[in-house]
Structure 1
Amino acid sequence: MQTLTAAAIQMVSGDDLAANLERAETLLAEAAAQGAQFVALPEYFYLMPADERARLSIAEPFGHGPLQQRLAAAAAHHGVWLLAGTLPLAGTQPGRFCNSSLLFGPQGQCAARYDKTHLFGFDDGRERYAEADTMQAGDSIVSAATPWGPTRLSVCYDLRFPELYRQAPAPVLITAPAAFTHTTGQAHWELLLRARAVENLAFVVAPGQGGVHPGGKRTFGHSMIVDPWGQVLACHAEGEGIALATLDFTGQQTWRSRLPALQHRRFIG
């Protein structure tokens, strides 16, 4: 596949599961109507409650459950590759769920599962986040085999850990659904996305939450698609919307041949 039209969907999810799913499906349909072949939803698109523990009650086993069935059906209905942001899957640790990014193929099959590995923690005296209180960390790097090449799945806080993206096979595309806080997003979001793109000579598709949520939490938004040279191809700043761009993999190979940095690495884990 030489080109791929990708869409990063931005949402401002609330505490109404049914309403969030309806909005996600509406935005997915809009992206597909605009020609998107690959559509990515943000982290927690299904629920952004005031109490983080609310997600525990709807965690479902991998491969079964209404959330996974609904997203698989949506991918098949539109005939697109669908990155279902993150979904809550049952963990093995009591009182914790896996914050899992699932990639569905255009026939509705689950092509890859990645459990968020790095759990966000932040406390500046005004804002406090502790994902480890309710989540079970993943322990595997996931590279999905897709028609356009290896795709490395990641989620939000993972962007601060570049080693996750350096393992073979070198990804042609990195996905990073997120709910970056406004505080950290202002300082680091674009910087991190462009850095991961440049150092891996990879496209980055990063859909985010972008607004104010129940409990007063504010997310940064600025859902982006970045090319391997670090250029921002598309960005949706605030509120609901879609960032849409065409990824040119032939051009990517040209960049990689002109600057073979991936072949020049000396320390490879």
Structure 2
Amino acid sequence: MAFKAAAIQMCSGVDPEKNAADMARLVREAAAQGAVYIQTPEMTGFLQRDRKAMRAVLRDEAGDIIVSTARSLASELGIHLHVGSTAIAVEGGKIANRAFLFAPSGRQICTYDKIHMFDVDLDNGESWRESSAYEPGSEARVADLPFGKLGFAICYDVRFPQLFRTEALAGAEILTVPAAFTRQTGEAHWEILLRARAIENGAFVIAAAQGGVHEDGRETFGHSMIVDPWGRLLASAGGTGEGIVLAEIDIAAVAAARGKIPNLKNAREFSLDAVTDAAGEVAA
């Protein structure tokens, strides 16, 4: 089955209401161009480094403006709308980095909480500790949709291939990686990682990204893209600002790629033997 997919690139600020309005405008544009599955980036609702200011606008699912706006858009436009993620207040005072998938009826199909926390120390003093505020998820998810099976991930998850392999083995034909990749890591790894996840699983990868300099001072890499199961780049956005990336997705390409290189079937269990050179000899 073939369908048109869209990845929405945003440069979300600190005001959830403005971000919701920007999302709605871009989603309507993508739907007008024929997209029936539309994905927004990680942290669609707001990007805010200041934890106190962040908590001042944080809401639970029932009160979140991105959730309510997305639900209405899906119903209005008759599309599957995938909010790549937004920050949601959860029990215990922490935050979930949570994705939402809505059906054309507006029904919420499922959610996915980002599993892997971005706790890193990069060059030039750039450091992040998501685990200090966010509650990590613990469950991978695959949604069986009319046009194919969709596997979920968010941003830093892309560096953990076992998540994508688990979803592919569960039947996922489309893997999703909405993100807010830093410019530093994006320049080095973004496209390589997305194409690798597509190739090694014989699956489409759709990745909507944040792109540009944000109100809280951070800079994200952008380059939202859609990759086919052979690792070919079907469409890509620029590095900064808003954009809509569109591509025709033919699910038959998944079976074709997996038929040529059936590595999902060919994988074997193995053990690890760690060998120690007790003599400690050093070659001359």
How much does 1:241 deviate? 0.5
Question: CA–CA distance in 2 between the matches of 1:4 and 1:118?
Answer: 30
Question: Any runs of at least 4 consecutive aligned residues in structure 1 with deviations exceeding 6 A, and if so which?
Answer: none
Question: CA–CA distance in 2 between the matches of 1:31 and 1:53?
Answer: 34
Question: CA–CA distance in 2 between the matches of 1:172 and 1:3?
Answer: 12
Corresponding residue for residue 192 of structure 1:
193
Query: Is 1:156 the equivalent of 2:158?
Result: no
Corresponding residue for residue 279 of structure 2:
none
3-state DSSP class of the match of 1:93?
A: helix
Checking the alignment, whether the CA contact within 8 Å between 1:13 and 1:209 is kept in structure 2 is yes
After the TM superposition, which of the residue ranges 225-234 and 46-55 deviates more from structure 2? 46-55
Checking the alignment, whether the CA contact within 8 Å between 1:55 and 1:88 is kept in structure 2 is no
- Distance change in 2, residues 1:137/1:246 (3 Å): same
- What residue identity is the alignment partner of 1:221? G
Which of the residues 243, 247, 250 maps onto 1:248?
A: 250
Checking the alignment, whether the CA contact within 8 Å between 2:100 and 2:110 is kept in structure 1 is yes
* TM-score of the superposed pair, with normalisation by structure 2: 0.89
How much does 1:65 deviate? 4.3
Query: Is 1:102 the equivalent of 2:103?
Result: no
3-state DSSP class of the match of 1:102?
A: strand
3-state DSSP class of the match of 1:219?
A: strand
After the TM superposition, which of the residue ranges 56-65 and 212-221 deviates more from structure 2? 56-65
- What residue identity is the alignment partner of 1:188? H
Structure 2 residues without counterparts, runs of 5 or longer: 271-284
Aligned length: 266
Corresponding residue for residue 13 of structure 1:
12
3-state DSSP class of the match of 2:247?
A: strand
After the TM superposition, which residues 4-153 of structure 1 pair with which residues of structure 2 at under 5 Å, given as runs? 4-62=3-61, 65-94=64-93, 96-124=94-122, 125-153=124-152
Question: CA–CA distance in 2 between the matches of 1:65 and 1:237?
Answer: 29
After the TM superposition, which residues 214-225 of structure 1 pair with which residues of structure 2 at under 5 Å, given as runs? 214-225=215-226
Question: CA–CA distance in 1 between the matches of 2:17 and 2:62?
Answer: 20
Question: CA–CA distance in 2 between the matches of 1:211 and 1:64?
Answer: 28
How much does 1:231 deviate? 0.4
* TM-score of the superposed pair, with normalisation by structure 1: 0.94
How much does 1:215 deviate? 3.3
After the TM superposition, which residues 196-215 of structure 1 pair with which residues of structure 2 at under 5 Å, given as runs? 196-215=197-216
Question: CA–CA distance in 1 between the matches of 2:120 and 2:37?
Answer: 32
Corresponding residue for residue 234 of structure 1:
235
Checking the alignment, whether the CA contact within 8 Å between 1:56 and 1:88 is kept in structure 2 is no
Percent identity between matched residues is: 40
3-state DSSP class of the match of 2:140?
A: coil
Checking the alignment, whether the CA contact within 8 Å between 1:171 and 1:200 is kept in structure 2 is no
Checking the alignment, whether the CA contact within 8 Å between 1:97 and 1:136 is kept in structure 2 is yes
3-state DSSP class of the match of 1:214?
A: coil
How much does 1:186 deviate? 0.3
Corresponding residue for residue 280 of structure 2:
none
Query: Cα RMSD over matched residues?
Result: 1.6
- Distance change in 2, residues 1:173/1:108 (3 Å): same
- Distance change in 2, residues 1:61/1:130 (3 Å): same
How much does 1:63 deviate? 5.4
Checking the alignment, whether the CA contact within 8 Å between 1:170 and 1:200 is kept in structure 2 is no
Deviations 1:17-54 (A, max 9, x none): 22111111100010000000100000111111242454
- Distance change in 2, residues 1:216/1:60 (3 Å): closer
Question: CA–CA distance in 2 between the matches of 1:57 and 1:165?
Answer: 35
Question: CA–CA distance in 1 between the matches of 2:51 and 2:5?
Answer: 30
Checking the alignment, whether the CA contact within 8 Å between 1:56 and 1:97 is kept in structure 2 is no
How much does 1:79 deviate? 0.7
Question: CA–CA distance in 2 between the matches of 1:152 and 1:54?
Answer: 32
